[in-house]
Structure 1
Amino acid sequence: MKRKMVALALTLLAIALVGCTNNGNSSTAGAQSTTKPELTVAAAADLTKAFTEIGKAFEVENNCTVTFSFGSTGTLSEQIANGAPFDVFAAANESVIDELDHNGHIISETRSLYALGRIGITTLKDSTIKATTMEELLNPKIKKIAIANPDHAPYGLAAKQALVSAGLWKVLEPKMVYGKNISETLTFITTGNAEAGFIALSLNDEDTLNFSLVDADMHEPLRQAIAVIEGAKEEELGKKFIEYILSDKGQKIMNTYGFVLPEE
């Protein structure tokens, strides 16, 4: 009788231990399968510094991860039109967002103006060649001038428009080297492949570059717009991201990199 009771007790104990083990595994599996939502943002290259900082702050406040793809506005726009799986698109000009809206690629009510961009002439501080005005780009020592490709990069188009306004485009065009976007344009300068160039104020590095703003009246305003992509996986999180950029916290960071909200 005692043996039967001991056997029964051991059986019940074994069942209890298995139950505890299974519960523990289920809990662990549940914890492992719980992942933070990921927001994917396509953004113009001039936003690299500002959005990287904003992304970190947004992640903390919203318990998520933000993945950026920086590039030229034109290239990113083509990718989105062809179904690239982004949640949000921050363009360097509003006309691209408007075109995507017209073709049904964005959620119209999320379209917002978020920044006004500026361009400037830059040279390396440790270079003997300086250029603070467009006329100084005529210096024969300046063999190459870097700008973003004006065919698909708004900042490159603004640089071309400024040179046309100054009556210097035709004479300086043979010196031009074109970056795929404004970040690659900056790389041409920092690597010495161009003695001077036009970059975004937001990418200026005061420690290594001489930078002179171009008069904003010499080119079309760089009114930058943002929107949530139609069919976005993280639509609500995308809306929150736009709200954050337009908030006091977001604009404080944007201002640090030379951006201001454009007047509606």
Structure 2
Amino acid sequence: MGFVRPVRIKSCTIILTISLLLALCFMQVKGVEAFHYDELSISAAMSLKMPFEEIEKLFEEHHPDVDVLLNFNSSGKLRQQIEAGAPVDIFASASVKEMRRLLDKRMIAVGTMRILAGNEIVVIVPGDSGFDPGSFSDLKDESIKRIVIGNPDTTPVGMYSKEVLQSTGVWDAVKDRIVFAEHARQVLDYVARGEVDAGLAYSTDAMLGRRDVKVVIKKAPRGSHREIKYPIGVVKGVNNREAADAFIAAVFSKEGRDILRKYGFRIFER
């Protein structure tokens, strides 16, 4: 009788082990991925935040096995993160310049860069402002004490804005009144809170703050800055190329392009 209990325990252990192995084999045969999600890391310009969050939902509805991780910041900072080895699968920039720097370093997979959208530079003021300029030259008016633009060294919106101010002959007169923002959305925030008298922003961002800001110049003069194009591409060494290609396909699908249009982006015809 002293040996019965150990035999029962051993028998139970064997039965449980076999049951677990059979269950795991069954899961593999059925293709069940109960313990695994593919992650897709996307670094995108801050001005793409709203449309990309909507496209993410659209994508995950059709790809429930992929978990999309979105990271938004200025294109320059995102490019620096990728250069430093950040685990990024897709890069969407607000400037061809930032994408080109990664291409030159062979950090973007060959043949994956495409232009997904365009934008415009506008002048915005706080919603209760009485300032109504007829042209960019009016920004030199002494009543305009502070003007916010993105940092030209790290943000495409700042680079484009500085180009506009220089080409219209305004830069030298207002450069001491300039406040630099860290990304495109911060330009909108400064103006909406009345912390500055005017700002140069993307037209898409100005749309988001319609209750707190108003657009007083709807478009920069033609040729006053390089054309605003948003490139997207797959970062070389991506862990899940199939998922990356599928997400970019979603961006360029009819639904994806409609979402970009809804947020004011200019879509280039194929």
Q: Settle same-fold status: TM greater than 0.5.
A: yes
Q: Could you tell me how far 1:232 is from its partner in structure 2?
A: 1.3
1:249 paired with 2:250, answer no
Instruction: Classify 1:15/1:45 alpha carbon distance in 2 versus 1 (closer, same or farther; 3 Å).
Output: closer
Q: Could you tell me how far 1:97 is from its partner in structure 2?
A: 1.5
The one-character-per-residue Cα deviations of 1:188-238 (angstroms, maximum 9, x if unpaired) are 222222121011112122222212322351211012211000111222211
Give the aligned residue type for 1:207. Answer: R
Q: CA RMSD in A?
A: 3.0
Instruction: Classify 1:186/1:21 alpha carbon distance in 2 versus 1 (closer, same or farther; 3 Å).
Output: same
Unaligned runs of 5+ in 2: none
Distance 2:48 2:189 in 1: 15
Q: Is the 2:126–2:193 Cα contact (8 Å) retained in structure 1? A: no
> Which residue is 2:35 aligned to?
34
TM-score, structure 2 normalization: 0.83
> Which residue is 1:149 aligned to?
151
Residue identity (%)? 26
Distance 1:77 1:95 in 2: 10
Q: Name which of 118, 121, 125 aligns with 2:120.
A: 118
TM-score, structure 1 normalization: 0.85
Instruction: Classify 1:24/1:129 alpha carbon distance in 2 versus 1 (closer, same or farther; 3 Å).
Output: farther
> Which residue is 1:166 aligned to?
168
Distance 1:262 1:129 in 2: 34
Q: Which moved more, 1:166-175 or 1:129-138?
A: 129-138
Q: Could you tell me how far 1:17 is from its partner in structure 2?
A: 7.5
Distance 1:216 1:43 in 2: 27
Instruction: Classify 1:180/1:132 alpha carbon distance in 2 versus 1 (closer, same or farther; 3 Å).
Output: farther
Aligned length: 257
Instruction: Classify 1:162/1:84 alpha carbon distance in 2 versus 1 (closer, same or farther; 3 Å).
Output: same
Matches within 5 A, 1:50-65: 50-63=51-64, 64-65=66-67
Q: 1:197 aligns to what SS in structure 2?
A: strand
> Which residue is 1:3 aligned to?
none
Instruction: Classify 1:250/1:173 alpha carbon distance in 2 versus 1 (closer, same or farther; 3 Å).
Output: same
Unaligned runs of 5+ in 1: 1-6
Q: Which moved more, 1:208-217 or 1:98-107?
A: 208-217
Matches within 5 A, 1:74-223: 74-131=76-133, 133-204=135-206, 205=208, 206-211=210-215, 212-215=217-220, 217=222, 218-223=224-229
Distance 1:15 1:51 in 2: 51
The structure where helix makes up a greater share of residues is: 1
